Chain A
């Protein structure tokens, strides 16, 4: 890289950044022209639509903007998070309204037999017919079907590992022919795994006891008694 010619050298002129080409998209059946490459959610704003439902963290974590879309000349309906997906010419999309899935109500700490309780809380879970529609619907690429099977067979650890990416968008639910809400099943299973089947961390218990026993009291007295200069010096000495 020639340092003397920095400004022209250190420039990314990727096509998609350079051009402001307009593309035609279709939102809930109506056509619009928007700049290519903007996200689906920005396309909604660009076309003048107020978004209250369907926008949350805008960072791909909250699942509020679960969206169905299709690309040009392809009948396949896909799913995405609207804040994480760029529009392309010929794309057609609709934000999905939250699906009325039933969430079981439970007291996680008072469960006596969490693996058995799954069948009481979500009796539909073992009815999975292996159709794989949930996996296909997952914008996070989780193998949802396998997760449901693991849950039913009691591999709670396996499920919790698989569903760490789950943003609870719920796109797996409306496609299920057995009326399972796989994300809710997985959430129950993960919580049960954490609360009942994961080792209690000894070091944490020890630290809680040390604090309760006043083991740091002398240090606190010393630190809180320092003047501003002494405290600044002490902080500066930390490496």
Chain B
């Protein structure tokens, strides 16, 4: 069967589908659907963590292994500092850059260390937009309620309130730095409606929102001449005799040497965990998204929140094979694109929350209404040509140039042909527990962005991540800089690691089981 033949059902049923309106599910219906089909509820994929601050809590087996995993550091590592700073930011994505810029603006000496290059992150790939309540009919309170509903009512209220209230000021900061958000004819910020939101609230830069923001932030970090340590992965935090964070051990990926950085405060902005490929899912995440920050903070004694829930973006590409896991932006559904099963039917309100839409797609496929590729993958259609039919010829090309380009490289014209999609591992809903200053339960250790947990509850709404990065990047940077100015450099020890190793031994976890953190996924083929 040729893909074009299978696609005919989408073209044939388009006009009839345009007449339909599908209701969003009630809370009870959502609950039933999610419990039955969402990967978070697949019991065999989870196990309790054996020891540490979250002992007994369940998380994905892949993550549990890393959290309990063993540090690669030798016991006799020389802890003489190669660098000394007020604020050390680990991670070069959106949260890391924002944190570094604000800490620097507050007068602190800042070093930014990152595993790959400055900017290599999930942030740069964000296409859908950034949620900020700027529309007259909208308000921060409505943004709060929408997010809470999306997060299955489990969000940390205090963290969420801060994020929605500081959003507009963040937009202003970005505009002053030169970020070009899309505008309406009056010059106001153009807002789109995102999945799970009751009001249009998404600020966009074409479908390159993350790229545009990151180009500017990276450039600003360079303009401010903030000291960079690129290709240096954090492998262990350092603590003083009271357990406060005092720095980090980095591994220079070029020469494999360890580098000790003494810092009065440390901000972990290490991002998510998609590259752990939980439950075997493909991922939309960048190469370095291996959850390093979670392991480091956990060993140090920081508790984690909501680490039993992950977000599967409803639309990851399933075909062609080269694009498997890559995101097909939610913007397509925001602008009215339908999800269509093998029988040509719609099966969910496309603007429902990500967990609902993902669960619905998995349901269609498990119940035999998906389309299977010979590579063994299954998916459903996303009717992209509908956008041109609905809003005029050229809409797809104009509004989704990044996506058009991505498929064009493989000979697929998404304005004419629907694309095949299936959920892809996209976001770590939970992370290291923080307060509204972005501080963890470990003194002088801050976490910002995807590595932090609590804000998004059990499911993140689209567009809230970019805002989270900027708001908590800023807060962590400012508070860490303030703290550094009133504190002296603590002693550099690995005492916490010794305690952790002893506990691991007590629980029968052998040091050879899992090296942690992972640093980079093991894709390199070693045999054959």
Query: A residues engaging B (CB < 8 A)?
Result: 1, 3, 6-7, 9-14, 16-18, 37-39, 42, 45-53, 55-62, 64, 84-86, 103, 105-109, 140-141, 160, 164-168, 187, 190-195, 198-205, 207-208, 211, 216, 219-220, 223-224, 228, 231-232, 234-236, 238-239
Contact = CB atoms under 8 A, between A and B. Distances in A.
A57 B286 contact: yes
A12 B374 contact: yes
Contact of B180 (A46, A167, A190): A190
A131 to B, nearest CB: 25
B267 interface: no
B381 to A, nearest CB: 11
B343 A3 contact: yes
Contacts of B218: 168
B304 interface: no
A62 B124 contact: yes
B149 A223 contact: no
Contacts of B436: none
B211 A84 contact: no
Contacts of B80: none
Contacts of B133: 207
B169 interface: yes
B490 interface: no
Given A64-B117, A219-B139, A231-B148, A106 B319 contact: no
B83 interface: no
Interface residue tally of chain B, by bracket? Answer: 35 or more
B319 to A, nearest CB: 6
Given A107-B223, A165-B401, A201 B124 contact: no
A108 B286 contact: no
Contacts of A52: 116, 231, 253-254, 520
A58 B178 contact: no
Nearest to A235: B149
Nearest to B187: A199
Interface of B: 1-3, 6, 9, 24, 26-27, 116-117, 119-122, 124-125, 133-136, 139-142, 144-146, 148-149, 153, 157, 161, 165, 168-169, 171-172, 175-180, 183, 186-189, 198, 205-206, 208, 210-212, 215-216, 218-220, 222-223, 225, 231, 253-254, 284, 286-287, 319-322, 326-327, 342-344, 368-375, 401-402, 405-406, 409-410, 420, 520, 523-526
Nearest to A3: B343
Nearest to A109: B176
Contacts of A107: 223
A223 B141 contact: yes
Given A105-B223, A208-B169, A13 B374 contact: yes
A135 B284 CA distance: 29
Contacts of B326: 59-60
B125 A57 contact: yes
A216 B165 CA distance: 10
Contact of B145 (A6, A160, A198, A234): A234
A125 to B, nearest CB: 16
A39 B178 contact: no
B116 A64 contact: yes
15 contacts: A10-B372, A12-B6, A17-B375, A45-B523, A56-B116, A56-B119, A56-B287, A59-B327, A84-B409, A194-B180, A200-B187, A211-B169, A223-B141, A228-B153, A235-B153
A201 B116 contact: no
B116 A55 contact: yes
Given A1-B342, A84-B406, A56 B177 contact: no
B512 to A, nearest CB: 22
Contacts of A42: 523
A14 B3 contact: yes
B402 A60 contact: yes
B183 A201 contact: yes
Given A61-B210, A166-B215, A187-B219, A12 B319 contact: yes
A46 B187 contact: no
A7 B369 CA distance: 9
A142 B491 CA distance: 52
Contact of B206 (A3, A9, A49, A164): A164
Nearest to A35: B321
Contact of B1 (A12, A45, A46, A202): A12
B210 A1 contact: no
A17 B374 contact: yes
A238 B178 contact: no
Given A11-B1, A12-B372, A62-B124, 12 more contacts: A9-B342, A10-B1, A10-B342, A10-B372, A11-B372, A50-B524, A55-B116, A60-B405, A109-B176, A165-B405, A193-B178, A208-B172
Contact of A14 (B27, B368, B374): B374
B41 to A, nearest CB: 20
Contacts of A47: 525
A62 B175 contact: no
A103 B175 CA distance: 22
Nearest to A81: B409
B273 to A, nearest CB: 15
A43 B331 CA distance: 31
